[in-house]
Amino acid sequence: MFFLPLFALLAYDPTAYPLNNNEWSFPLMEIIHIAGFALSIGTICVVDMRLLGVGIFHEAPSQALKDTATWSLAGLLLVPITGFAIFFSDPLMYMHNQSFRFKVTVLTIAIIYNYTIRRWAARTGPSGATAASIGGVILLLGGLALVIWDLHGGFGVAGMASIIAGGLALVLYPSMRKSPEGSWGTAHALIGAVSVLLWVSVVFGGLFIAFV
């Protein structure tokens, strides 16, 4: 049962796939893919810039998070739909592409980080602290497992990013736990900086697929 998807992929004939049968659908899918991540990462970075103490000063990070959350989620739903549509144009090639492996792994790390640690940093106060600490532990242990499993490959390099993101969150946890609701400090800025680095890594992971 376990190997069925792999056999299905091996038996799968990409030449019959719609994106491989005309000149316009693959580039059109890439355009929608780029629009999707511009929307998601663009709105996520608005809040991260606020966490870094730059950008829209008239809004607290918690308010900026509230105003952008739906748009970020809409973009984050669009990219996997278009991404997998492109992926199935040549699944075996992409599955062996180290930059693709790096990208989808860092994307998973960035999404866990976004909805646990970074969400807590933007909203501050006690609520969300437990989710942030759980997120930190998952990223630290998950990263260690990825590095042990695939040290020199795309998964392993992504694992190192996960260890840094999770480890930092756990180190900052005690000081952030004490910070009063609505406060802002170096810990919040550091968490915003790691968020930006994770999403930039996803973009470069995507850009380098064609070159690896």
Instruction: For residue 87, state whether it binds ligand HEM (rule: CB under 6 A).
Output: yes
Between CA 197 and CA 118 the distance in angstroms is 13
- Smallest separation (angstroms) from ligand HEM to the CB of 203: 5
Q: Does 118 bind ligand HEM (CB under 6 A)?
A: no
**Binding to ligand HEM, residues 160-179 (CB under 6 A):** none
Binding residue for ligand HEM, selected from 45, 161, 198, 209, defined by CB under 6 A: 209
What's the CA gap between 45 and 75, in Å, rounded? 13
Q: Does position 19 bind ligand HEM by CB under 6 A?
A: no
Q: What is the DSSP string of 133-202?
A: HHHHHHHHHHHHHHHHH-TTSHHHHHHHHHHHHHHHHHHHHHHHHHSPTT---HHHHHHHHHHHHHHHHH
Tokens 């400090």 found at: 185
Q: Residue 206 interacts with ligand HEM (CB under 6 A)?
A: yes
Our CB check for ligand HEM shows the closer of 70 and 183 to be 70
Q: What Cα–Cα distance (Å) separates residue 144 from each residue in 37, 100, 149, 150, 164?
A: 28, 20, 9, 10, 10
Q: Binding segment for ligand HEM among 125-133, 173-181, 183-191, 202-210 (CB under 6 A)?
A: 202-210
How many residues touch ligand HEM (CB under 6 A)?
20
Selected from 94, 102, 113, 120, the binder of ligand HEM by CB under 6 A is 94
Question: Whole-number minimum distance, CB 59 to ligand HEM, in Å?
Answer: 24
- Asked whether position 40 contacts ligand HEM by CB under 6 A, the answer is yes
* Cα 96 off chain centre by: 20
Q: Of 17-25, 42-50, 53-61, 200-208, which part binds ligand HEM (CB under 6 A)?
A: 200-208
Tokens 């780029």 correspond to what residue?
34
Cα distance between residue 168 and residue 40, in whole Å: 24
Chain residues binding ligand HEM by CB under 6 A are 30, 33, 37, 40-41, 79-80, 83-84, 86-87, 94, 104, 107, 202-203, 206-207, 209-210
